Amino acid sequence: MHFNDRNEWLYAFQICSLSSLLCTFAACIYMQRLKGDILRSSVRFVMLCSLSASTLSSAAAFLFNLSIVLSKRRADTQLEEASTTEPMVLQERSSSNPDSTFLFVLHNVLYILTTCWVLVVAGELFQLASVTIDRGEKSERAVIKKYSVMAVVLLGVVTGASCTATLIEKKTHSHLKLMIAEQACTTIAIVSLTVLLIILKRRGRQFEHLHGVATASPLYHRLKLILLVYIIFTLPFCVLQTKLLLFDQDKAFRVPDTVSHIAIILHYFFGGALAFVMSASQECCFIALRPILPARIKGSARFQDVLDNVLSGHGGIIQYSEHVPIDPPTRPIFVFTDIEGSSELWSKATEGFIDQAQQIHDDILRSNLLLYNGYEITTAGDAFYLAFHSIDDAINYCCAVQVELLKAKWPKSLEGLTTSTQTIRKACLRRTLLFRGLRVRMGVHDANEEAEGKVVIHRHPVTGKTNYMGLSEMIAQEVGDTGNGGQIVVSKRVALWLEENPLTISTCFKCKYLSMRTLTHLDLSLELYEFIPKMLQSRQAIFAACGAQKTLARGSHDHFAISLTDRMTTSDPTIELKS
C-alpha cells in the first residue's frame, strides 16, 4: 500500500472517531437536559452511563489516531519501509510510543465498558417490556444509587487497567489480550440482545397498547435498533480481528485492504450510531428538521397534528388509524380481570398451546378497549388492569368481552383440560351455551376521592404509560379477585349507579348482592354485588353451586337503602325480562 493511501485512511479514521465523539457528546448533553427524569428513571440513567463511556471511548480513539498521524509525519521513512503484510490497524496498535499505547488500551477498555453498560440498558428495557410497569419512584432511586456506585467503581477499574496494561505492554503484549476481550464482549452483546428479542417476541411483547391503540413497542423497537447497530458497526470488525488473532498472519491477511479499512471505519462510527438509537426520538427529529421544512408543510393541518402528538409526549411509533388514542382518565373506573385456574392450566398445557390461548384472550380484551374508551394500565401475567372514563363504558365493556370469550374459536385441546375450561350448556331444549374456553373473572370499582382519598396518577418517563396508585386502586384489585371465572363483580357505589342509570347499559341486567368481604390489610369491609347481564343469567346456578352467590336472606343488610336483589332493568322500558 502506498504511503499517501495509508495517510488518507488514517485521516478517514480520525474523521470517523471525531464524528462519533461529537454525536455521543451531544447525546449526553441532551440526556442531561432531562434533569430530574435522569434521577427518577433507571433506564435513562444507565443510558447516560453507556453514552458517557462511549464518548470517552470515541475521544480516546480520536486522540489515538491523531497520535499515529503525528508520529508518522515525524517518521516518514519508517512508514515507507513498513511491511504491507501486516494490517495497518495492528501495526499502529502495537506502536512503541507510550502515549499511543495508553490511548489504544484506554479506547479498548472503554469500549468494553460501553458494552457492559449497553447490556445493563438491555436488561432494564427487557424488564420494562416484560412487566410493563416500573419499580416505583423509591425503588428506582435505590437502583440508580446502586448503578451510581457501580459507575464510579468501573471508572476506577478502567483507569487502573489502562495504566497497568500500558506499563506491562512490552513484556506481555497486553493489547492482544484486550483485543480478544473486546471481540468477546461484542459477541456476548449480539447473542444476549438476540436472545432477549426472541423471548419478548415469543411473549407477544413486540406490540404495546398505549392509550388504547396497538402500536409497535418502543422498548422492543429500541432493543432491536441496538442489536442492528452492533451487527452493522461492530460485527465486521469483530470477524476481521478474530481472524487476525486466531490464524497465521500470512494466511489471515488475504482480506483486501479496502474491506479491512471499511470495517475499521464502521467500528469507529459505532459510538455515533449507538448515540442516535439511544437518545434520538421523534421529538428530537421534528425539532431538528422543522427549521428547514418548506412553509407549506409546516403550515399544513396534518403536520401540526403530528407535531402536537409528538411534543405532547405520547410514546410509541406514530401510526395513523381511524381511531383516536384514548387518554388515561383522571377519575378512573377500574376494571381488573384474571383468568380462572390459569396456574393449573398453564402447568398442564404445552407451550405452543399456552401462547395460542393467551393470544385469543388478549386480542379479545384489547380489541374492545377502543370501542368503550378504555385505557390499558398494565398486565401482570394473564391479568389485565384497565381504566375507563365512565361506569357505563366499563360495564358495557365487561359484557362485550364475556360474550366474545364465549363465542371465540378456542383450541380443541383446551376443552376439559381443567375443570375451569370445561364446556357447559344449560340443560334445556335449546342447550344454551354457558361456558366455553377460558373463564375470566372481572371486577369493577370507581375511584372516589371523598370516600377513599386521592388517586395518584404517575406517567412513566420512558414507556409513557400512566399508572394509578391509591386506596381506590387497591380496592379495585380486591374486587377483581373476588368472583369466579365468567362472573362480573362490582362494588356498592357502582351497583347504586347502575340502579339509578339503567338505560346507559346496552343489555338487560340485574345486580344481586354477593358478599361482604373484610379487608384486614386495608382495615375496611367491602360490600360486593354481582352484575348479571340477561344473556348470561343462566350462569348464576353455576356460581351458586361454587358457593360464591349469597342472597339477602342470609344476613342483615338494612344499611343498603334500595333493593337491588332480583331487580331486572332494561334499556327499553317496554321489554319484559323473563326468567
- Whether 323 shows a pLDDT value over 60: the answer reads no
* Percent over 90 (pLDDT), the chain: 23
- Give the per-residue pLDDT at 94: 46
- Give the per-residue pLDDT at 27: 85
Instruction: Give yes or no: residues 158 and 302 share one domain.
Output: no
Of 244, 264, 280, the last residue of a domain is: 280
Residue 340 sits in which domain range? 333-569
CA 36 to chain centre: 21
CA distance 185 to 196: 16
Kindly tell me the burial class for residue 539, based on how many C-beta atoms sit within 10 Å of its own C-beta (0-12, 13-18, 19 or more): buried
Across 142-151, 245-254, 540-549, 558-567, least confident range: 558-567
Instruction: Give yes or no: residues 270 and 392 share one domain.
Output: no
Strand pairing class (213-216; 333-339): unpaired
- Provide the 10 A C-beta neighbour count for residue 427: 9
The mean predicted confidence, pLDDT, of the chain is 77
H helices of 209-281, where?
A: 218-233, 235-246, 249-252, 257-268, 270-279
Answer yes or no: are the C-beta atoms of 550 and 515 closer than 8 Å: yes
CA distance 407 to 404: 5
- Give the per-residue pLDDT at 558: 33
- Give the per-residue pLDDT at 100: 79
Residue 98 forms part of a structural domain = yes
- Whether 578 shows a pLDDT value over 50: the answer reads no
Mean local confidence (pLDDT), 561-578:
34
Q: Where residue 410 sits, what CATH number does that domain have?
A: 3.30.70.1230
- Give the per-residue pLDDT at 531: 94
**Model confidence at 556, in pLDDT bands (50, 70, 90)?**
very low
Q: Which three cell numbers stand for residue 302?
A: 396534518
Instruction: Give yes or no: residues 522 and 469 share one domain.
Output: yes
Q: Which three cell numbers stand for residue 292?
A: 428547514
Instruction: Give yes or no: residues 455 and 508 share one domain.
Output: yes
- Whether 500 shows a pLDDT value over 70: the answer reads yes
CA distance 460 to 208: 14
Residue 374 forms part of a structural domain = yes
What's the structural domain count of the chain?
A: 3
Top mean pLDDT of 162-166, 194-198, 274-278 is at: 194-198
Residue 145 forms part of a structural domain = yes
CA distance 283 to 292: 15
Residue 574 forms part of a structural domain = no
Instruction: Give yes or no: residues 313 and 407 share one domain.
Output: no
Across 105-114, 343-352, 501-510, least confident range: 343-352
**Model confidence at 492, in pLDDT bands (50, 70, 90)?**
very high
Residues paired with 527 in a beta bridge = 516
- Whether 393 shows a pLDDT value over 90: the answer reads yes
Instruction: Give yes or no: residues 195 and 308 share one domain.
Output: no
Residue 394 forms part of a structural domain = yes
Residue 577 forms part of a structural domain = no
List, for residues 262-298, the tens digit of each pLDDT value.
Answer: 999 999 999 999 998 887 765 566 556 666 767 766 6
Answer yes or no: are the C-beta atoms of 385 and 336 closer than 8 Å: yes
DSSP-derived letter for residue 211 is T
DSSP per position, 133-177: S---HHHHHHHHHHHHHHHHHHHHHHHHHHHHHHHTHHHH-HHHH
H helices of 75-136, where?
A: 76-81, 88-93, 98-131
Tell me how many degrees the CA angle 125-131-136 measures, rounded to the nearest 5: 85
List, for residues 62-119, the tens digit of each pLDDT value.
Answer: 998 888 878 777 665 444 444 333 344 444 444 456 777 788 888 888 898 899 999 9
Residue 6 forms part of a structural domain = no
CA Rg value for the chain? 31
Instruction: Give yes or no: residues 187 and 61 share one domain.
Output: yes
Instruction: Give yes or no: residues 276 and 392 share one domain.
Output: no
Instruction: Give yes or no: residues 380 and 267 share one domain.
Output: no
More confident site: 208 or 422: 422
Q: Where residue 105 sits, what CATH number does that domain have?
A: 1.20.1070.10
Residue 440 forms part of a structural domain = yes
Q: Which H or E element spans position 514?
A: strand 509-519
Answer yes or no: are the C-beta atoms of 385 and 377 closer than 8 Å: yes
- Give the per-residue pLDDT at 354: 78
DSSP-derived letter for residue 445 is E
Instruction: Give yes or no: residues 128 and 260 share one domain.
Output: yes
Instruction: Look up residue 353 and give its amino acid.
Output: F
- Whether 249 shows a pLDDT value over 50: the answer reads yes
* Percent over 70 (pLDDT), the chain: 72
CA distances from 355 to 3, 351, 352, 410 (A): 61, 6, 5, 12
Across 54-58, 341-345, 399-403, least confident range: 341-345
Instruction: Give yes or no: residues 412 and 311 share one domain.
Output: no
At 464, is the secondary structure helix, strand, or coil? coil
- Give the per-residue pLDDT at 310: 53
More confident site: 433 or 73: 433
Residues paired with 334 in a beta bridge = 387, 445
More confident site: 316 or 9: 9
Across 326-340, 420-434, 435-449, 491-505, least confident range: 420-434
At 469, is the secondary structure helix, strand, or coil? strand
Instruction: Give yes or no: residues 25 and 119 share one domain.
Output: yes
